[in-house]
Amino acid sequence: MKFAILVNAGPFSHRAADSALAFAQAVLASEHELVRVFFYFDGVHNANRLAAPSSDERNLVRAWSRLGSEQGVDLVVCIAAGLRRGVREANLAPGFRISGLGQLVEAGILADRLVTFGA
């Protein structure tokens, strides 16, 4: 089965982004395929390499970045949502790319299931 993931929540607001990451890792560990992860609304903060969580917090930006770089997962940040929240090419973490909502639409077409995390 092919999955796409939509992340609408930031890495520090609640557990949705962490749950999305765990789901993505489970998909990759199984016989399934992960088409794309699309970051929208406050979810774009997951791509900000300038984020500095405290030492007792999990660094989700680094974890997502590693997933994209090491596993070859397509991590797409919505350009409009990113610009509104200060996430730009200049502060994008490795493994992420910026694009438009068309990438979300395409992911929904290519995948058998689009799973959303965050409100």
Looking at residue 48, what DSSP letter applies? B
Q: Which residues contact 60 (CB under 8 A, 6 or more apart)?
A: 11, 17, 18, 21, 46, 53
Looking at residue 14, what DSSP letter applies? S
How many other C-beta atoms lie within 10 A of the C-beta of residue 79? 18
Catalytic residues: 78
With vertex at residue 38, the alpha carbon angle to CA 45 and CA 85, rounded to the nearest 5 degrees, is: 30
